[in-house]
Structure 1
Amino acid sequence: MGNQIKVKESKYGNFLKKKNWYYYKQLKDFYKINIPVDKKVLGFGCITAEILSSIQPSYGVGLDIGEEMVKLAQNKFPGLNFMLYPAEEPIAIQEKFEYIIMCNFLDRSSDVWRAFKNLDNLTEENSRIIITVVNPFWDSIFRILEKIKLKTPEIPYNFLFRADIANLLKIFSYNIEREGLFLLLPIYIPFFSALINRYLSRLPLLNNLCLMQYIIAKKIKRQLNNRELSCSVVVPCFNEAENVAECLRRIPKMGKFTEVIFVDDGSTDATVGVVKDLMSKDPRARLISYPENKGKAHAIKAGFEAARGDALMILDADMTVMPEDLENFFWAISIPGVDFVNGTRMVYPMENEAMRGLNLLGNKIFSLLFTWLLGQRITDTLCGTKVILRETHRKINMTSFDRWGDFDLLLEAAKLRLRIVEMPVRYKRRLKGESKMRPFKNGFKLLLRFFIGFKELKLAKSTNNFQKVNLKNLRAF
């Protein structure tokens, strides 16, 4: 039955390619223009089979997650090599490639970070990666077309902008050479398609509406090896007795050593007793407890001050961010030059009821405000998972205005001019216990903290600039 489904899917994929031939032709032409012939090329995703063939590589390999798609591609293009993409393991290829194609692959990848990490052993200095992804603006258009039966329903796309991809590429030592958008009209209408896609799509406002985003980046030599660090995972807890055992079990071992510090923030359930029992079974577990509920920020501060690890991590006990994702955070903070890693839940599709609509709206508004305030792209201000180096945290002052601690950490990181990178995480709905976030009550306090940050960062900077200008005028006078 499973094979029949795969065959039907592959036949349907061929039908779609015939129906949308103009769209696929534009993608093929884009890659042909940017990749010379007789190069070693690795392609990700089933779409790349035709692209690889048209490029005429000296050695071409295609990867796909579907076994049936791999078989079909290999039969159709016997001069190329096709393999299954091992999403959870390193890619078992010894060859180094001159060009990497990711055509509509990151849109559906379950782990964008791992996809880039897997390239480390497949590329060398001056290797180029060419990425095309769907513009998230079109997500709403696709949903409307699906509802009125003009488009076949598909699984949701990852919400990736070029800036998000560029952020990850820079972490993995790629230099962005070119980026942009193309293909405003993805269907063929004689005369109009050429007019719109060649000329009108280049106009400033219309260009932002194009269907496809692209990035071309070149691998540069990494100057320093990753830092060897130990790790402290701080888990703030308030009435999380049902979750702490599973949370500890799923936290991976990282670096020279890993400790897990459960900070009991005045729980009224059996959280303390459960953690004490865990401590007798798992040497990684530690406990800090106090009787009064003082908020997550206080719990984080207490955990960080007691931590012995070099990298300080925060993980919510509800496991809405998967503990397994901490390995990606640890790898990122180990890279020289990365000072602060902020989780973002705004890339992968969320599970139903993982985040309430009002919380999602508030988060997006605060993200826009903080991007402007900090001068760095921040897509998720309230993700509970963050990582900072212990030596850096000593310079941070956490206030009493932010009960959650997220805004304090981001604002203090900006004051210290730390390099903040974002890590996409898969956000799950809470299975046990209840959320502690109250949109209106907490939203007002967070807004207050934002205005304090505005005064500290923007107004203070403007005042200093004004004083410097006056001082120069006085000297000139």
Structure 2
Amino acid sequence: MEEYFISKATLNSSNIDLAIQSALSKSSGANGVFTFQITGNIWEPLCRWLRMDSRALSTTTISNRLSTWDIESLAEIHSLVPVKWVASKLTPFHTSWVPQKIKNALRRIPGIRDFAYSIEYTFRQTGQPNIDPVASIADTYSIVLPARNESGNEQLIRDALDHIICHLPNSEVIFVEGNSSDNTWIMLNSVVSDYQEKLRILLIKQEGRGKKNAVISGFSKATGSTLAIIDTDFTVDILDSIRAIEYSSRLNGCFINCTRTVYPMEEGAMRWANYIGNRVFATLVSCLLCQNVSDSLCGTKIFTKHLYASMLADGSWLSKTDPFGDFTVLFGASKYKYKIINYPVKYKSRFSGSPNISRWTDGLKLIRVCWHYFLSA
């Protein structure tokens, strides 16, 4: 049996996914055991607050923000199954005056160990992982990009299409233009004309209003077995989004929800009130779903066409209470017993334009969505 230890320093790298892949590449077979050293969920935010390394206290952060469920999601992506977790240290304080036998006993007591400062979480390989995942030939991908007032992001859009062509050859791209007040429609027509020989690319005009309606319009033209939503401002790194789509081909029965709260954000990427609201909604949605969601409002989500068809059939996609569709699809994934995988992505400040949301008005609408789900069967 091969055993490997992945330290906190490794998990604080600029690309956790690649750091884990590097550790997996050292395993010669399919029986490797990997132990992750992480800070407990209770102490993790407290320690960041004490270091003034919290997004709630400053405009940006230095270190990654990782919870146990983020580790569990990354482990699942890499074909690792949980074995056990142990409390390696109960507090960050100096406790040499406490007899070692007492500390050993306390670390095993339920309730006390749940408040541990340092945790060692052990996983075992279930098969040979794909060290360099690529899109499956058997899977086809439909990527819907709602676009409203994004004329200043033309170069970002072209760069993203180049990456999609390179990494996701079995994909189609569907732009849904949302009746912009700028030249987005003209710009997208030019882009589609330049790329129509390189991949299947469509441009449609949204008939209704709101991001959710735009997504529905795009999915109505989708032919792929896997559906993806990506915001056209590309504040989420396109390479991270593509990697999440690539992983979807090997995660049957899973819903990939990208999370922006693991890596440090670029300064100005998310306003303070938005960040606090995001954290509150993530906690609330996690409680309602009985599944852990690190970021409920990230625009990048990947799921099967079968899930979308099921939600269309039960009418949940036709509800007008959710302005963006983020909660609708998360609640739908939970209803149809899909496991939600949190995949960390880097979040950047907008290159051009401004957010197409109203933080207070739309926030109240999202509270209504949660209340409706809370009262539902």
Identify whether the pair has TM-score above 0.5, normalized to the shorter chain: yes
Match of 1:352, SS?
coil
Which one of 224, 243, 249 corresponds to residue 153 of structure 2?
243
Aligned residue number for residue 211 of structure 1 = 117
Of residues 239-248 and 196-205 in structure 1, the stretch that sits farther from structure 2 once superposed is 196-205
Q: Which residue of 2 aligns with 1:411?
A: 331
SS at 1:242 equivalent: helix
Match of 1:134 among 19, 33, 39: 39
- Note if contact 1:313-1:385 (Cα within 8 Å) is conserved in structure 2: yes
User: CA RMSD, aligned part only?
Assistant: 2.7
The answer for the alignment partner of 1:12 in structure 2 is none
1:258 lines up with 2:171 in the alignment: yes
Q: Is 2:349 the counterpart of 1:436?
A: no
* 1:178 alignment partner, SS class: strand
After superposition, the C-alpha distances for 1:325-357 in whole angstroms (9 at most, x for unaligned) are 122212221014243211111211222222122
Q: Note the residue ranges of structure 2 that are not aligned, 5 or more in a row.
A: 54-60
Aligned counterpart for 2:342 among listed residues 406, 422, 428: 422
1:221 Cα deviation from its structure 2 partner: 2.8
Query: Greater CA radius of gyration, 1 or 2?
Result: 1
Q: How far does residue 209 in structure 1 lie from its aligned partner after superposition? A: 4.1
Is the Cα contact below 8 Å between 1:107 and 1:157 reproduced in 2? no
Q: Does 1:373 align with 2:288?
A: yes
1:269 pairs, out of 182, 193, 206, with: 182
**Paired residue type of 2:189:** K
Which string of whole-angstrom CA distances, capped at 9 and with x for unpartnered residues, describes residues 168-212 of structure 1? 212322221111332234465652474774455555555344332
C-alpha contact 1:343 1:425 (8 A) present in aligned 2: yes
The equivalent residue for 1:362 is 277
Contact 1:185-1:197 within 8 A present in 2 as well? no
Q: Which amino acid aligns with 1:345?
A: R
Which residue number in structure 2 is paired with residue 100 of structure 1?
4
For 2:67 and 2:342, locate their aligned partners in 1 and report how far apart those are by CA, in whole Å.
13
Q: How many residue pairs end up in the alignment?
A: 353
Aligned to 2:57: none
Letter paired with 1:369:
L
- Give unpaired runs (5+ residues) of structure 1: 1-38, 40-97, 148-154, 461-477
Residue 266 of structure 1 contacts residue 293 of structure 1 at CA under 8 Å; is this kept in 2?
no
Deviations 1:131-153 (A, max 9, x none): 11234624543553579xxxxxx
2:85 is the alignment partner of 1:165? no
Confirm or deny that 1:221 pairs with 2:127. yes
Three-state SS of the structure 1 residue aligned to 2:186 is: helix
CA distance in 1, matches of 2:99, 2:49: 23
- Seen in structure 2, the aligned counterparts of structure 1 residues 215 and 223 have a Cα distance that, compared at 3 Å, is closer
Normalised TM-score (structure 2):
0.84
1:270, 1:385 → 2: CA distance? 24
Q: Cα gap change, 1:218/1:401 in structure 2, threshold over 3 Å: closer, same or farther?
A: same
Give 1:450's match in structure 2, choosing from 346, 350, 370.
370
1:196 & 1:141 partners in 2: Cα distance? 25
2:86 pairs with 1:180:
yes
Q: Is contact 2:78-2:129 (8 Å) kept? A: no
Letter of the 1:170 partner, please give it.
E
Partner of 1:289: 205
Q: Indicate whether 1:156 and 2:71 are aligned.
A: no
State the one-letter code of the partner of 1:300.
V
In 2: Cα distance, 1:223 partner to 1:211 partner: 30
Name the CA shift for 1:193/1:248 in 2 (closer, same or farther; >3 Å): farther
Higher mean C-alpha deviation, range 220-229 or range 313-322: 220-229
Higher RCO structure, 1 or 2 (CA under 8 Å, sep 6+): 2
Counterpart contact for 2:228–2:300, Cα < 8 Å? yes
CA drift of 1:232 comes to: 1.9
Closer/same/farther in 2, CA of residues 168 and 275 from structure 1, 3 Å limit: same
Q: Could you tell which deviates more after superposition, 177-186 or 406-415?
A: 177-186
Cross-structure match for 2:193: 280
